[in-house]
Structure 1
């Protein structure tokens, strides 16, 4: 199975994860949804590491903490966006992360952007403005801003992921510590609120969320390992396509010409940004 097929599996699984998040959000809050999603990853990755006798020790705990906190807040914003926006809109806003990664690389790392990357940023943010226009007129400002914040924070966290990779950190430890920090963060936040119980009605959605998230994560990791990175990165935007299709099938959300154009601009900008 080549990298393209692995990324196709990952994109479909990420799209399904969004469906399960949206369905579960009818009875569970955002913090709880993120907690169950990351707790599942902690148990699976931690258990696998114990069976393989892999070491959890790392000299890069500070970087893991920075990446974990940014990634956790990004995930909170993302799940909130999925809960309050059309699925395809929330997913597309989250996929602005390559634009913010390029922008932050300039601001924080003093990197220089090539003309294609500058064009990508212009196209991307034009797409964001076009996509958010009906959102602001419909559900209001707050969900759209939080959905966009998920992309910004994800882009920032990817800076730390890149630093961890350059420092030689194992991929599984990067994912494990992110999940662990997010799960502990969820426990702390839930201390001050009432837990909503898992019931026969929402348990299938929570299990579906956990399973699809892990399949997506593992398939994406495999895709980048065995496939051509640029092709795999471009194919990751199929998640937006799958999300749009699921939105039509499950919630009958038919996309307008303006929404399709906006998503197209954001996808194109992400592809251009990945070539910088």
Structure 2
């Protein structure tokens, strides 16, 4: 139950994070948005850790590095998708992660794939195909593929989050090292690029992005540590619902029958995957 409640909080926060990404994308690209988002977390979590005299040293540095690199690449692809697609579409593509989590659990952890899981993957594939169809008919096909790729990488990243939790790693250190690795990666990518300054117009969006992302990351990490892996992963689909509501309220992004059907299939696939 505790894991479920933490994931609900994470879903709300991730939905709000998408709103701030879309607002900030008017003046900042995905690389800059990821940089500021993760720098916020590094300063906040690092500052709190110093005040509490917590230890930064960890025997899990290798796992943190793997998780950080995979998670950073996923975040870049996700922010690009949000910037160029309707919010609910980008979020749904990213939240194919539970479907990929089930698949990767079989491929990497040698878990058994049941009939429910096979049906889940089939429904998820159909849903993704329906959802991506409009992007391939238009000019946003690249953003659509990157959105789907972010879901695959996020599912892979969650496996490492689970391993870190099972190894007894503190949640704040898991989030801190992810943010630190992502900030360093973003800083390297920003070198040699035209500087995109923070202004009075985009600073509120960057601060909102940093705050909601940090809360979401902490809540998600806690959920995977104390909750059942696939149950928690299924509840992450609530972010799709919140994002659809935010998109409709803020940008009048209405969902057609095909999009609703696609989202429903992807959500059902996650539920079935959780029963395996």
TM class by shorter chain equals over 0.9
Asked if the contact 2:171/2:218 (under 8 Å) is kept, the reply is: no
Q: How many Å separate the matches in 1 of 2:27 and 2:224?
A: 36
Change (3 A) 1:38 1:275: farther
Shift of 1:273: 1.8
Q: Which residue of 2 aligns with 1:261?
A: 261
TM-score, normalization: structure 2?
Answer: 0.93
Instruction: Give structure 2 stretches of 5+ with no counterpart.
Output: none
Q: Which residue of 1 aligns with 2:202?
A: 202
Give the secondary-structure state (helix, strand or coil) at the position aligned to 1:33. Answer: helix
User: Are residues 1:115 and 2:115 paired?
Assistant: yes
Asked if the contact 1:85/1:139 (under 8 Å) is kept, the reply is: no
Q: Which residue of 2 aligns with 1:15?
A: 15
Q: Which residue of 1 aligns with 2:86?
A: 86
Change (3 A) 1:122 1:64: same
Q: How many Å separate the matches in 2 of 1:149 and 1:43?
A: 29
Q: What do the CA deviations read for 1:75-127 (whole angstroms, capped 9, x no partner)?
A: 00000000011100000000111111222222233222122111111111110
Q: Which residue of 2 aligns with 1:125?
A: 125
Q: How many Å separate the matches in 2 of 1:57 and 1:121?
A: 39
Q: Which residue of 1 aligns with 2:147?
A: 147
Q: What do the CA deviations read for 1:226-265 (whole angstroms, capped 9, x no partner)?
A: 7777665443211101111111111111100110010011
> Would you say how many aligned residue pairs link Structure 1 and Structure 2?
276
Equivalence map 1:1-276=2 (5 Å): 6-221=6-221, 232-276=232-276
Asked if the contact 2:131/2:263 (under 8 Å) is kept, the reply is: yes
Q: How many Å separate the matches in 2 of 1:231 and 1:146?
A: 26
Q: How many Å separate the matches in 2 of 1:102 and 1:2?
A: 22
Give the secondary-structure state (helix, strand or coil) at the position aligned to 2:62. Answer: helix
User: Please, which moves more after superposition, 220-229 or 243-252?
Assistant: 220-229
User: Please, which moves more after superposition, 23-32 or 206-215?
Assistant: 206-215
Shift of 1:8: 3.6
Instruction: Give structure 1 stretches of 5+ with no counterpart.
Output: none
Give the secondary-structure state (helix, strand or coil) at the position aligned to 1:173. Answer: helix
CA RMSD of aligned residues (A): 2.1
TM-score, normalization: structure 1?
Answer: 0.93
